[in-house]
Amino acid sequence: MSRLLFFAIIVVLVFWLIKRVTRKKIDLNIESSTIEGENMVCCDYCGLHLPRSESITKENKFFCNEEHCRLHSK
């Protein structure tokens, strides 16, 4: 009976260690795959917020498309 208890404890410890090691790998993958943020700007014509890389810049003002840029400069 004591052998059975001993082996049961060993099996539980092995499963616990495996779970702990795999959890650390999953956590590291989640941390390393985070996406860097990007600055958001506001269209000076309509007020739409969009990423700076997708905006059109003219005279230090940001626009969401060419039409708004053209309409604002009139």
For 54-63, the pLDDT digits (tens) are 999 999 999 9
pLDDT higher at 51 or 31: 51
Q: Report how far residue 10's alpha carbon sits from residue 4's, in angstroms, rounded to the nearest whole number.
A: 10
25 and 44 part of one domain: no
Q: How many domains does the chain have?
A: 2
Phi/psi-derived region of residue 60, left when phi > 0, alpha when psi is between -120 and 50, beta in every other case: left
68 and 47 part of one domain: yes
Helix (H) / strand (E) containing 51: strand 49-51
Cα dihedral 20, 22, 25, 29 sign: negative
pTM: 0.52
pLDDT higher at 66 or 73: 66
Please, which pLDDT band fits residue 72 given cuts at 50, 70 and 90?
Answer: confident
Helix (H) / strand (E) containing 56: strand 56-58
49 and 20 part of one domain: no
